[in-house]
Amino acid sequence: MNHDIDIKKVRINCFRQSKVAGEFMLQMRVPGAMIEAKHLKLVQDLCERFGNGTFHLGTRQTFDIPGVKYENIEEVNKYIKSYIHDVDVEMCGVDMDVTDYGYPTIGARNIMSCIGNAHCIKGNANTYELARKIERLIFPSHYHIKVAVAGCLNVINCVKANFNDFGIMGVNKQDYDIDRCIGCGSCVDACKHHATGVLSLNQNGKIDKDACCCVGCGECSLICPTGAWTRGDKKLYRVTLGGRTGKQNPRAGKLFLNWVTEDVILGMFANWQKFSAWALDYKPEYLHGGHLIDRVGYKEFVKHIFEGVEFNPEAKMADDIFWAENEQRGNMHVMPLSEHKHAGPQEPAAKKA
Ligand code: SF4
Ligand code: SF4
């Protein structure tokens, strides 16, 4: 069957073109990667009625429905209306009209999360709750942005937060109750093996800490048998900036903020759309968030993104950031072996070459 297919239009509605002519894959948002299991029935139904019967778990934690025929897209868009309403409007509190025309934009990508402290004993933050709050600030928007939220700060954490424009990680300042400490030294070992080695047992059999280099992971609280170390009440975050994948110049995000509160994070995202609009001269175009920050420059970006945001007293921010790109396009460090540079005494054949 021939179609007059507007690929760009259906792409905005989150349908990705397939290598099979006339077919598309729907990508459904799952902000924070946590929803009620009841929605899975609808997903299964979509796959079987409109897709090719298979299901793909998207790499950005979307529900992907492959094999949707172009002529069925209209019907699929109507079918997912209840899902968009339940997940984005009801669950996340997004201010949007849910229509018969499916997702209104693909710009702001699905916000990824690890399971966080809803389950993980190492988690310092409820990741999906924060993701839902961010969703309502950045979606729907045509401006491209990738965000991931991790419960702890393993630098390459379960959700690979630092390969996103914004990688958010839960951290925590631990409280120490000296009277409960029996001097067993478990926290010293745990910190040394799993974290930074900033703890030591002093001559009184109590703990000294080099507070400057504590990263706030909570391994000490996790191991302490008497509850002398406990996670503090204040929820704090570390944020990396400017990570990205890509064919030409992928790079890891760099440390941007540390010990900031949720209010700082949400204040920052509340400014994202305004910042993007300004940076792109009010003409949304397909430009990854990280490239947008590059175009504007770090200092200018900071000025815009924190407009009206009040920092908590513990907060720290990078004065400047210099990213190291993993340059792919120029093939600068991969070349035929015959072109490799040689040093030292050469075999006659190599000399000749
Ligand atoms: S929170 Fe600090 S002191 Fe405790 S294990 Fe982590 S780095 Fe060490
Ligand atoms: S693990 Fe707890 S009890 Fe043992 S030395 Fe550390 S703080 Fe004290």
pLDDT > 60? residue 350: no
Verify whether ligand 1 is closer than 6 Å to residue 216 (CB atom): yes
351 band by pLDDT with thresholds 50, 70 and 90: low
pLDDT > 70? residue 119: yes
**CA distances for 123 relative to 148, 156, 332, angstroms:** 14, 14, 40
| Cα 186 to ligand 2 centroid, rounded to whole Å | 6
Q: In what order do the strands lie in the sheet with 147-150?
A: 112-113, 147-150, 166-171, 236-241, 254-260, 316-317
Give me the chain's average pLDDT, please: 92
pTM (two decimals): 0.90
**Which protein residue has the closest C-alpha to ligand 1 atom 8?**
191
For every residue of 82-107, DSSP letters joined together read HHHIIIIIIIT-------TT--S-SS
pLDDT at 155: 57
| Cα 124 to ligand 1 centroid, rounded to whole Å | 12
pLDDT > 90? residue 340: no
Residues 13, 222: Cα–Cα separation, whole Å: 44
pLDDT > 60? residue 281: yes
pLDDT digits (tens, 9 = 90+) for 156-191: 678 888 899 999 999 999 999 999 999 999 999 999
Verify whether ligand 1 is closer than 6 Å to residue 220 (CB atom): yes
Q: Are 156 and 140 in contact (CB under 8 A)?
A: no
pLDDT digits (tens, 9 = 90+) for 7-57: 888 998 999 999 999 999 999 999 999 999 999 999 999 999 999 999 999
pLDDT digits (tens, 9 = 90+) for 100-112: 999 998 889 999 9
| Cα 29 to ligand 2 centroid, rounded to whole Å | 44
What's the burial of 196, exposed, middle or buried (CB within 10 Å: 0-12/13-18/19+)? middle
Question: Can you tell me which atom of ligand 1 is nearest the CA of 229?
Answer: 4
Residue of 206, 209, 224, 231 to test ligand 2 pocket, by largest number of atoms within 8 Å of CB? 224
316 band by pLDDT with thresholds 50, 70 and 90: very high
SS3 content of the chain, % helix, strand, coil (to 5): 35, 15, 50
283 or 193, greater pLDDT: 193
pLDDT at 142: 87
**Which protein residue has the closest C-alpha to ligand 2 atom 6?**
187
The backbone torsions φ and ψ at residue 67, rounded to the nearest 5 degrees and listed phi first, read 80, 25
